[in-house]
């Protein structure tokens, strides 16, 4: 569990879970977590980086 000052850097979702049926629910979860809606394929699944990492902005402290 993360402390209040800690943030996720990315979320990886296994490709079989990225179905049409799950699309809206996963998009909502990613948005709530502050993750990008644009993912990149990795050996473990599709990685969705945190929005503040994706845009090249410095994390707010």
Give average pLDDT by consecutive 10-residue segment, the chain, 61 residues.
Answer: 86 94 95 93 96 62 45
Give the helix, strand, coil percentages of the chain, each rounded to 5.
35, 20, 50
Tokens of 11: 């979320």
Per-residue pLDDT, 52 = 84
Per-residue pLDDT, 61 = 45
Nearest one of 38, 36, 44 to 17, comparing CA atoms: 44
Per-residue pLDDT, 56 = 52
Q: Is the pTM higher than 0.95? A: no
Answer left, alpha or beta for residue 45, where phi above 0 means left and psi between -120 and 50 means alpha: left
What are the beta bridge partners of residue 40?
A: 47
Per-residue pLDDT, 6 = 86
Per-residue pLDDT, 35 = 95
Beta carbons of 37 and 27 less than 8 angstroms apart: yes
């Amino acid at each position: 569990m993360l402390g209040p000052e800690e943030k996720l850097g990315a979320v990886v979702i296994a490709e079989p879970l990225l179905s049409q049926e799950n699309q809206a629910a996963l998009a909502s979860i990613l948005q709530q977590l502050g993750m990008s809606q644009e993912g990149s394929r990795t050996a473990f699944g599709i990685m969705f980086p945190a929005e503040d990492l994706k845009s090249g902005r410095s994390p707010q402290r």
